[in-house]
Amino acid sequence: MVDAEIEVGLCLRALNSVSTLVDTVPVKFEEDGLVIDTVDGANAGAVSLNLKKGAFDSYEAEGSELHLDIEQICRILARFDNDSVVRLTFDEEEHVIELSVDTYSFELAPIHPESARGGKSAKEVEPPAKLILEAVELQQAVRIADMFSDVIMLGVDAKRDVFYINSRGDNNNMAVSFDRDSDKVDIVESEKAHSRYSRGYLAQMTKMIPGTTEITLKLGVEYPAKIEYEIADGAGEVVYGLAPRMD
């Protein structure tokens, strides 16, 4: 059984952070909140969403797991005002999910578990280098890198305490760096890191994050990258994991 109410805008921001990578996912409605852990079809990107009970206007669940088309849910919610309230209910006997917003109601059938992707949680990797920065700094570098290559390099020079971002094309390249004295990046753990990542995946992962949001970026040497940030005034968390490009 599931019976939950939440503001449309908050629900949409939370689910969009997942639907930017995948469209169908297993959603766990645990007693203390909603949890999603999934990977994309290429097993290159992973996302974990944890929305605690306190983020909801009301929340009651008994440990149900439903496989949902969250892209469809996002399309529905996008038609309503952010301050509207959406109610989601699920009756195991009827096996139907019902969404109610304002005077509208929608009945959605859970999808077959085999058509939903599951995989290693983004939280399971723990790169050694740790940085804190506003999302806009990474977003801008990713946008500019698009002019040069579909690969972007992220790294930390531990000897000089410098975080750097490079993108190299056939004849041209882009580079930006931040040292420990920078007011834009806080190098919390200065460990050696250098990995190449898909610029497209980084663009997908960061595009839904408000620019002024503080993110934690963790990196290693030829190691998955990890991006973490809070939502719902700290009552929720999104974590992305991205495998390095090895070619």
Residue 246 clears pLDDT 90, i.e. is over it: no
Give a yes or no: residue 39 inside a domain. yes
Read off the pLDDT of residues 45-67 as tens digits, 9 standing for 90 and up. Answer: 999 999 999 999 999 998 889 99
As a whole number of angstroms, the distance between CA 40 and CA 19 comes to: 10
User: CB–CB of 238/38 below 8 Å?
Assistant: no
CATH assignment of the domain containing 184: 3.70.10.10
User: Do residues 105 and 134 share a domain?
Assistant: no
As a whole number of angstroms, the distance between CA 113 and CA 228 comes to: 27
User: CB–CB of 196/221 below 8 Å?
Assistant: no
pLDDT tier at 185, thresholds 50, 70, 90 = very high
Q: Look at strands 225-231 and 214-219 and give their pairing.
A: antiparallel
CATH assignment of the domain containing 33: 3.10.150.10
Residue whose token pair is 């997942």? 18
Q: What is the DSSP letter of 32?
A: T
Residue 113 clears pLDDT 90, i.e. is over it: no
As a whole number of angstroms, the distance between CA 71 and CA 12 comes to: 10
What is the average pLDDT value for the chain, to the nearest integer? 93
- Of the chain, the percentage scoring pLDDT greater than 90 comes to 85
As a whole number of angstroms, the distance between CA 240 and CA 39 comes to: 10
Give a yes or no: residue 120 inside a domain. no
As a whole number of angstroms, the distance between CA 213 and CA 120 comes to: 26
Q: Which residue range forms the structural domain that includes residue 14?
A: 2-115
Q: What is the mean pLDDT of residues 168-182?
A: 92
The total number of structural domains that make up the chain: 2
Give the residue from 80, 115, 150 where a domain finishes. 115
Return the minimum-mean-pLDDT range out of 86-100, 134-148, 150-164, 209-223: 86-100
User: CB–CB of 191/156 below 8 Å?
Assistant: yes
Give a yes or no: residue 202 inside a domain. yes
pLDDT tier at 116, thresholds 50, 70, 90 = low
Read off the pLDDT of residues 17-45 as tens digits, 9 standing for 90 and up. Answer: 999 999 999 999 999 999 999 999 888 99
